[in-house]
Amino acid sequence: MTRITPLLERNEQFARDYTAPALGLPAAQLIVVSCLDHRVDPAIVLGLRLGDAPVIRNAGGRVTPAVIEDIAFLAFLAGQLFGGQLADALFEVAVIHHTQCGTSFLADPGFRDQAAAATGVPAAALEASAVTDPHVTVKADVERLLASPSIPPTVSVSGHVYDIATGRVTTTVDAQSR
Ligand SMILES: [Zn+2]
């Protein structure tokens, strides 16, 4: 018995009625970037079903170099596999930050220094990853993604904030491409 045992039982239920989705473009033609926080699961918050949208999650839902690499690869892959089916718009990347984000503790210098010592991540990098005002950081991350030369102009980017208190997502930056 490990902690995953009850979840494996849920999976057993899930697999009973399962039909494998065909390989195709994500049905929503969307990629979601969001925080890894267990209170903000995009599948539940946005009602995503299997095959709807790739989801990239990290602390804060920040647009890091690793996230940019993943999106550039997904754009390349979609072009290779489905280029013929696509018009000029490949997909939209929806960046979602949220209120009460745990990364906001990193705005405190004492906490940040302790975190840097414990994790080996430079304090400046931790400071840059903090989401204290999600409306501000999501806007900065949309701009960072749009400014990246590895993201093709067929990819549009939008920015949103999820409010943990209400369960509501509001749009801060409408979809735009470079
Ligand atoms: Zn968070």
User: pLDDT 10s digit of each residue in the chain, 178 long?
Assistant: 799 999 999 999 999 999 998 888 899 999 999 999 999 999 999 999 999 999 999 999 999 999 999 999 999 998 888 876 666 678 999 999 999 999 999 999 999 999 999 999 999 999 999 999 999 999 999 999 999 999 999 899 999 999 999 999 999 999 999 8
Which tokens hold the place of 18?
Answer: 């399962």
The confidence score (pLDDT) of residue 119 equals: 96
Mark the residues whose beta carbon lies below 5 A from ion ligand 1: 35, 37, 101
Question: pTM to 2 decimals?
Answer: 0.94
The confidence score (pLDDT) of residue 22 equals: 85
d(CA 78, CA 73): 9
Q: How far is CA 117 from CA 58, 64, 110, 111, 123, in A?
A: 20, 21, 11, 10, 8
Sign of CA dihedral 140, 142, 148, 149: negative
For residue 31, report the distance from its CA to the centre of ligand 1, in Å.
18
**How far is residue 122 CA from its own chain's centroid?**
23
Enclosing H/E stretch for 158: strand 155-163
For residue 143, report the distance from its CA to the centre of ligand 1, in Å.
20
Which tokens hold the place of 130?
Answer: 């903090």
Which tokens hold the place of 4?
Answer: 């995953």
Query: Shortest CA distance to 58 belongs to which of 125, 118, 157, 149?
Result: 125
For residue 5, report the distance from its CA to the centre of ligand 1, in Å.
27
The confidence score (pLDDT) of residue 78 equals: 87
For residue 80, report the distance from its CA to the centre of ligand 1, in Å.
33
For residue 58, report the distance from its CA to the centre of ligand 1, in Å.
8
Phi and psi for 158 in degrees, rounded to 5? -130, 160
The confidence score (pLDDT) of residue 87 equals: 62
Q: Are 93 and 157 in contact (CB under 8 A)?
A: yes
The confidence score (pLDDT) of residue 25 equals: 86
For residue 24, report the distance from its CA to the centre of ligand 1, in Å.
30
The confidence score (pLDDT) of residue 86 equals: 63
